[in-house]
Each structure stands twice: as C-alpha cells, then as structure tokens.
Structure 1
Amino acid sequence: MATTQPLLLNDQQMKSFITNGYLILKTDFSKEFHAGLVNQLNEIYEKEGNPGNNILPRIRDMQRVFEHPVITGALTSVLGSDYLLHTHRHGHYNSIPKPGGWHKDSYWGYSRLRNHHPWWAMIMYFPQDTPVELGPTGVMPGTQYSESRTFASDEMEEEATANGEAGTFALIHYDIWHRSTPNVLGTPRFMLKFEFMRTAAPTAPSWDNQERSWSAVPLEAGVVEPTIIGEEVWNWLSGDIGSLAGTKADDSAAIAELSNRLTGSDEPSALAAAYELAARGNGGTDALFKGLHHEDVKVSRSAAYGLSAAGAGAVDGLIYALDDSREETVNLAVFALGELRELAAAALPKLRALLDQPSVRVRRTVVDVLGMIKEPVQDVVAALIKGLQDEDTQVRFMAALSLTRIGEAAAPAIPYLETALTDENRYVRGHALEALRYMGTKEANDVLMRELFNTRWCSSTTPASTF
C-alpha cells in the first residue's frame, strides 16, 4: 500500500452513496493474504463453528483489513473520523443455492426508528473471489429511506451485487434492503459483516469535498436523480442542520398538494413530500405537524422525518408533542428533536422526564437522542446515568452507547459505567467499554484497562489447544 492515510471518497462517490445507499470498493491486499484468511476461516468454521463477535481476535489478520486506507477512508467520509466499530460483528457462510430473504438488519435486537441521516453503516467484506454465481450480497439501490419493501421479489433487474475479486467490500447504509443471493456453485462463500457508528454529528464535510452544492455534482450515467431527501442528507453531512427550512415559498396551493401526497399510500412519494414541506416555511411546518398527529402512524412517521429537517422553527411544536397521549406521536417527536441536535436543547427538561414514563419504547428513543442533543451537557449526562440503571436492557445499552458521543464531559458517569461492566448483557458491557474509551480521562482509562486485562482473550486457545 502506497499510503496509510485514509483514501477519502470524492464528491461523486458520496452522491452515489447518498442516492443508492451503497458503494462497492476494493482493497489491494495480495492474493496470498486473502488465501490465508480463507484458510483460517475454513478451519475455524469446521472445527469450532462461527466465532461470532470474536471473529476479529480469532483471526488477527482481519484487523489489517479495517486499517486499510480504502476502508478507513470510506468510513471516515460517511461517518466522520471518530467512527466506532461496533462490538457486534459476524461471519456469514453460504454454500446453498437458495437465496436469502430481503430484509433490513435490526440494531442487534433493538427496534428503533431508522435514520435517513447516516449515523450507522455496515461493511460486508469478501475474502475470496466472489463471482455472481458464488452468491454475493445483493442490495436494492435507493431503499435505505423506505420502511416498507416497495419492490416485488421478482423484480431483480435493479438489484446490485457485491461481486468481485478477493478484497471486494460493500459499504452500505445500515438501513438498506439487502439479501444473500443464491450460491449456485455450492462452494464455501464467506462474507464478514461489521457495523460502524458515527459518534459525532458532522460540522463540515469529512470526505474529499470540492463542490459545496449537491446539484453541481454529476451522477454516473444511468442513475436516476434522487429526490429532495438526497440533497438534505448531503447538506446534513456538510454540517448544516435544518438546511431546507425556508428555502421555498410558503405557497398555499403547493402546500395543499404536498399534504395530499404526505397522506397517500406511496411511501417514497410521501417521504419526498415531507421534506418538501420542511422547505415551505411556517405553512409547510404546520402541515407536517398535522401529519405528525395523523391517525395513520405511517403518515406520522413520514411527517417526523420532515420535521427533523425543518430547523429551529419546528422545535416548539415538537416539545409540545411530547405531552401527547399517543405513544407513537411522542416517540416520533423525540426522534425528530434528536436530529435537530443542539437546536433542541430547550427540550431537555421534558426529555429527561420521559425517562420516568412507562413506555420502554419512548425511553429507548430518549437515551438515543440525548447524545445527539448533548446540551446542556451536565443534564444530558445525568439523564444517561439514569438510563444506565433502567430495568430494560435496551435502554441500558443505548444509554452507554450514547455516552460515547459526549466524550470527556461524561466523566461523572464513570462509576456507573464500571458497574455496567458486570451487566448480564454483552452489549451493555461492550458499550460501557466504548464510552470509557471515548471519554479518555485517566480514571476512565484505568477502569477500561483493568477490565480489558481481566477479560483478555487468547486468540490461540481452541478446543484442540487449550494451553
């Protein structure tokens, strides 16, 4: 490798990722390197089974893959330089001709509202030559913004596959629809899946950005120009919050037409209308709030995405919605406030109070967004400490993960994170370790190192070689 510096994505690659939800890239390790990985994988799967979350320490050369400048550059471009490698990772083995079902991955068992903004991404790495016949991962381009599956199972002409030589990987938006394609050759195919999280909201482009304007960047031939959602995501990644607000006329006829689309059954059209309404000033924002309180929760969800892009003018109405009697409305309002980040600091008292309410779903969303809003930091940390002690496992592990976004200012949480290291759930423990690492103080590092030393894992110990 000529450089160890991250090879950042360019504007066209970023626009393609935002539009399609994936990029197919390739590392330049030698064939011998990949052959070694595959030999190790075959031996481990045959003798020990799937190593699951221990795949990195079990196959130590895999760490070199995630230090490769093409991979670090792609992840930095999409998630910022302080991205986190999640403690869940998995090696997928496929040797059968039957395709997998189309799906979106869960957040390790956590049912949460999916982000249009790329807070999360996945890498699917193929250590062997993977022609189409060997069953690479298939993705349906552009479906990262749709909750429902808007395509039929027999409409495969649009499917993109991560086929290629050893070292090929797919960088995908976490929420894209994807599947395993049929392995008609029947020989072993490995796909190593790793998840990554953004720990800091963007304040400026983190890719090799040359063109400030979304519209000035050309798309590759044959790709359909995306809707207004893509432009909003580009602006968000560039550091703008609520960039659509007030960019179009507060026109009553246009707002009426968009409101009809918002309540329609076509999800992509409804979502595009929600973002268009976010650009239409007070009239558009009022229409979105009507949508938020609509009896159809699908309409409410689309409206919430629009409100998350509507800027400071949406904050008061969202705070008001936190008192709504319908759980779904409250949960969506919390989500939208989180996407507005520091603009929503005035919501902190009510958000903290929601940690006392019986809805576990709302409590999970609250601890998620607290680390996005971040201010006032003392109140945020106090609320997340409370989340660490919640009876619900998912509230606890999301509270710990949210603390990674706070950094050194979260030091008052150290004793509670130390307690969390004894939690029965692996992700509470794993996220607590990450929070201590991102905190970086001497006290946090002492707790971190003691735990890691006491639980150190020997990558050479197997059932056939115990000592």
Structure 2
Amino acid sequence: MQPNTPLLLTDEQMRTFITNGCLLLKTDFSPEFHQQLLEQLNTVYTEEGNPGNNLLPRIREVQKIFDHPVVTGALTSVLGENYMMHAHRHGHFNASATAGGWHKDSYWGYERMRNHHPNWAMIMYFPQDTPVELGPTGILPGTQNYDSRNFESNEPQGEVLANGEAGTFALIHYDIWHRSTPNLLGQPRYMLKFEFMRTEMPQEPSWDNQETGWKRPANLLAPIAENDLMWEETWNWLSGKIGSLAGTASADPEQIKALAGQLDGFEPAAINASYDLARRGPQGVEALLEGLYSEQKQVSRVAAYGLSAAGEEAVDGLIEALNHKDEAVVVRAVFALGELSRLASRAVPALLQLLSHPADAIRIAVVDALGYMTSPIDEIVAGLANALQDVNTQVRFMASLSLSRLGASAEAAVPQLAAALEDENRYVRAHAAESLNYIGSERAKNTLIKFLLNSRWCSTTNKANAFYP
C-alpha cells in the first residue's frame, strides 16, 4: 500500500457504523505535530477569535489531518471516493464545566427529511489528549435514525465519549444525537468539526468489502431498539442495491394490517414496521402510501422511509402524491423518489414542474432529489441551473450541491454556476465552486481558477502582520 492510500474500513467497522452511527478512530501523527497545531490554535483563538469557516486556510496544517489515510479511508468507505468537504467547518472550544444540550446539527436553516442512508457525515477531531474530564463530545449510538432521543430522563443511555489521545476522532452519521460534555479540568479543549457529503449514489461497496450478506456487528451499541431490516437495507444500499427489500416477504393481509397499525407507535418499532411493509409487494406499498397521507406527522414521515426502500413498485404512487394539498406530504414523497434514484426516472417530469411551486420547502426538496436522478439528464441540468436563480437561498444552495453530484453531465450549467459565484450567500458561492470542480470541463476549470485567484485569502495576513514579511 502506498503511504497516502486510503485505509478503508473493514466489513465489521462498516457494520458498526451502520448500526451505531459512529466510529472512534485515531491518526498516527507525532506528538510534535499536535503540539505545534495546538500552539497555532491557541494563538489564533487568543489574538483573532474563532476563525470559523476560515479554519482550514488560516491554519494550513489542519489539511494534513484530512489527507491522512485513516481519515480519507473512513470517509471513502462511508461516502464514496468522490466525497466533498462542506464549506462550513468549525473549531469548537470547550472550557465549560457545564454539559451542552443534546442536539442534531441543522441543515442550514431549513427542515428537511433526515436520511437513514449516510449521505452526510462529520469528523470531530481532537488535537490534544482528551480524557473524560476534559469534556469530549458525547454521542448517543443508534439515534441517527430517530427524530427523538427516545429516553425520558435527562441521563443519557449508552452514551459514547470521544475521549482518547491526541489524534483521536469520531466519524459520525450527520443526523446522530450528540453534545459537549463537562470540561472539569478547565484547560483548553479543541475539537475540529468538519462536514462531508456524498456526491454519487453507491454503485458498489467503497470499503474493504469481503462479505456480501448483512449481519450484526459484535459491538452493537444501539441502546433503544433492534432495526435489522433498516440496517440490512442500508448495507445493501451502500453496496449499490437500491430497493433491495422489495418483494422479499409474503403479502399476508393480516401481517400487513398489523404492521400498518404500528406506524403510529414507539418510533423504533414504527421504523421496523415501515421497512417490513416495504418488503411485501403492492399490498405493502399501498399500506405505506396510506400512511404517507396520514395527518399524524410520525406516521407520514416513517411511511416515507419505507416507500424509499420499496423499489420501483412505489414510484407511481409517489408521483401521484406530488399533487397532494399537504406540503409536508409532497416533501416526503419527493424525498422517497430521490432515494429511489434511477428506479424513479419517470418521476422527473413531475419533479421539474414542482420547481415553480410556491412553497420553499417543496422546491428545496425537489432540487435535492434531482441530484440523484440520472435521466433525462439535459432536462435535469436545465432545471437545476434555473434553480440557481431562485429567490430562496436554500434552493440555490441545494441546486449547486445537486449539480456537483451530476459531475461532467452538468457542463451546460457552467454559465449559471459562474453567476452563482457572486451570490450573496457564502455557501451558494462555495458549492457553486465545488460544482465547477466536479464538472471538470475546460470551461468549468477556467471559470473556477479565475474565481479562486480573485478571492484568494492570505493565511499569514492578520492585524499584527498586515504586509511584511
């Protein structure tokens, strides 16, 4: 293996990530590397404050972390080899003796369907030795798939602490519940948080895959429930098998009725029921579509997850749901069609029509879903290119991300992406630049190079060192 070759995760590590939603890993940088990094962090934070999104250019050694084979291997395994680093990054500084609140990170100001599939992931890197007393990040394993934390007391059940030597990092599913824990030592504790996104639907396993079938990991920490069907479907999806559950179980009417009745119960059990219904052919899909139309938020949301795994059988019913009067139902139907990707190509004309819908949430969901469609590509690219001029910032942001997923196929959108480089929103600008990079044509590269040269940021210029040396 070459020195910089990604060190891919094993089958067991991937099974652990799928179930627990987190892995603790460690780089092998020298103590001197981390000491120098800490000195720079202390200087920047003391003299200039938190550099925020400029963390990477301000402290250039940080890039070495994300070029490390253990880091690139972990990200490649979970997100595919062409993953993207999000423009947002943040160095968390914790000196508080009070624990932070449990939370899931947001998607930049708007509510969206959180994905059971790992399309987004985060790395939380600790550049100093971080014992439990220094306040490492706390993570609730298995909660990435749940809207609620599912425990009633204030005390967490099964919390994993990202403590360890300098160079330890947590790879987490973006949607997992997490918090900061109390820093009882009062010493500076840094955690470098970077976000990453998948830019391609899986075609085959991107980890060191040796076994084809799903089985539970030895280190199953998910404390709330056993969601074997959901875990198996995610394993298959990561292996390039969309809609793998479809038709794998009998369509017994009594079983389908019983499963449909569980969609409004305890959330983990409701999720189990939705994936079970996805296995049961047209009758199971019919029950899930009925659930999608439910006025109960959980029933409708959980049914959408089942429909997203039900294969081509669900597509026509989801297309019909795009005309529903309830905005939330339409958003969930769009989500499910996006997850079905190439199986749902016939939904593209209806999705494109929704780009002029008055509801922001629907247009946001549509531009997200279109990035996972494969045909008709010219119409998809044209629709996303026009969406770069939408009045809503989140529509523009998601449109630029979706164009990056289409890669070279999106070359016709280069003029609109060039205009988006001047957008008022920092993330629209950043991901328009990323899209030009993923398109990779000569026109796209020339546009990108000009933008980067004009916006070059000097990492050594600060208030005390304005010009020299």
TM-score, structure 2 normalization: 0.97
Aligned to 1:328: 328
Pair 1:245 & 2:250 matched: no
Superposed, 1:212-361 pairs within 5 Å as 212-215=212-215, 218-220=217-219, 226-264=227-265, 266-361=266-361
The structure-2 alpha-carbon separation of the partners of 1:24 and 1:458, relative to structure 1 and needing over 3 Å to count, comes to same
Letter in 1 for 2:102: W
Aligned to 2:377: 377
Alpha-carbon offset, residue 107 of structure 1: 1.5
For 1:211 and 1:411, how far apart are their aligned partners in 2?
A: 38
SS at match of 1:340: helix
Alpha-carbon offset, residue 226 of structure 1: 4.0
SS at match of 1:89: strand
> Which deviates more from structure 2 when the two are superposed, residues 221-230 or residues 273-282?
221-230
Aligned to 1:413: 413
The structure-2 alpha-carbon separation of the partners of 1:227 and 1:96, relative to structure 1 and needing over 3 Å to count, comes to same
Alpha-carbon offset, residue 285 of structure 1: 0.8
Alpha-carbon offset, residue 288 of structure 1: 0.3
For 2:446 and 2:221, how far apart are their aligned partners in 1?
A: 54
Letter in 2 for 1:269: A
Letter in 2 for 1:219: A
Contact 2:140–2:157 (CA<8 Å) still a contact in 1? no
SS at match of 1:284: helix
Contact 2:142–2:222 (CA<8 Å) still a contact in 1? no
Contact 1:292–1:300 (CA<8 Å) still a contact in 2? yes
For 1:183 and 1:152, how far apart are their aligned partners in 2?
A: 25
Alpha-carbon offset, residue 284 of structure 1: 0.9
Contact 1:88–1:108 (CA<8 Å) still a contact in 2? no
Letter in 2 for 1:423: D
For 2:196 and 2:110, how far apart are their aligned partners in 1?
A: 15
Letter in 2 for 1:339: E
Pair 1:80 & 2:80 matched: yes
Alpha-carbon offset, residue 246 of structure 1: 0.5
Contact 1:130–1:136 (CA<8 Å) still a contact in 2? yes
Letter in 2 for 1:261: Q
Superposed, 1:153-164 pairs within 5 Å as 153-164=153-164
Paired positions, count = 465
TM-score, structure 1 normalization: 0.98
Aligned to 1:31: 31
For 1:222 and 1:98, how far apart are their aligned partners in 2?
A: 26
SS at match of 1:196: strand
SS at match of 1:188: coil
For 1:117 and 1:221, how far apart are their aligned partners in 2?
A: 18
> Which deviates more from structure 2 when the two are superposed, residues 2-11 or residues 21-30?
2-11
Contact 1:263–1:291 (CA<8 Å) still a contact in 2? no
**CA offset digits 1:171-203 (Å, max 9, x no partner):** 000000000011011111000000000000001
**CA offset digits 1:340-392 (Å, max 9, x no partner):** 00111111111111111110000000000101113111011011011101000
For 1:140 and 1:30, how far apart are their aligned partners in 2?
A: 30
Pair 1:208 & 2:196 matched: no
Alpha-carbon offset, residue 281 of structure 1: 1.2
Letter in 2 for 1:243: S
Letter in 1 for 2:244: S
Alpha-carbon offset, residue 161 of structure 1: 0.7
For 2:326 and 2:109, how far apart are their aligned partners in 1?
A: 24
Letter in 1 for 2:257: A
The structure-2 alpha-carbon separation of the partners of 1:12 and 1:170, relative to structure 1 and needing over 3 Å to count, comes to same
Pair 1:424 & 2:429 matched: no
For 1:160 and 1:61, how far apart are their aligned partners in 2?
A: 28
Percent of matched pairs sharing the same residue: 61
**CA offset digits 1:198-252 (Å, max 9, x no partner):** 000001000011110002x642377775431111100000000100001111111
Letter in 2 for 1:354: L
Aligned to 2:100: 100
Superposed, 1:356-367 pairs within 5 Å as 356-367=356-367
For 2:208 and 2:222, how far apart are their aligned partners in 1?
A: 22
> Which deviates more from structure 2 when the two are superposed, residues 433-442 or residues 367-376?
367-376
Alpha-carbon offset, residue 286 of structure 1: 0.8
Letter in 2 for 1:184: L
For 2:422 and 2:416, how far apart are their aligned partners in 1?
A: 10
**CA offset digits 1:19-77 (Å, max 9, x no partner):** 00000000000001001111100110000000000000111111111000000000000
For 1:329 and 1:220, how far apart are their aligned partners in 2?
A: 37
Contact 2:37–2:61 (CA<8 Å) still a contact in 1? yes
**CA offset digits 1:82-137 (Å, max 9, x no partner):** 00001000000000100000000002323211110010000000000000100000
Contact 1:139–1:179 (CA<8 Å) still a contact in 2? yes
Letter in 2 for 1:441: S
For 1:223 and 1:387, how far apart are their aligned partners in 2?
A: 40
For 1:296 and 1:170, how far apart are their aligned partners in 2?
A: 35
5+ long unaligned stretches in structure 1: none
For 1:106 and 1:403, how far apart are their aligned partners in 2?
A: 22
For 2:394 and 2:47, how far apart are their aligned partners in 1?
A: 33
For 1:282 and 1:245, how far apart are their aligned partners in 2?
A: 9
Letter in 1 for 2:200: A
The structure-2 alpha-carbon separation of the partners of 1:218 and 1:419, relative to structure 1 and needing over 3 Å to count, comes to closer
Letter in 1 for 2:16: S
For 2:287 and 2:120, how far apart are their aligned partners in 1?
A: 30
SS at match of 1:406: helix
Alpha-carbon offset, residue 151 of structure 1: 1.8
For 1:66 and 1:97, how far apart are their aligned partners in 2?
A: 30
Aligned to 2:403: 403
Alpha-carbon offset, residue 295 of structure 1: 1.3
Letter in 1 for 2:22: Y
Letter in 2 for 1:43: T
Letter in 2 for 1:241: I
The structure-2 alpha-carbon separation of the partners of 1:324 and 1:450, relative to structure 1 and needing over 3 Å to count, comes to same
The structure-2 alpha-carbon separation of the partners of 1:192 and 1:282, relative to structure 1 and needing over 3 Å to count, comes to same
For 1:97 and 1:113, how far apart are their aligned partners in 2?
A: 34
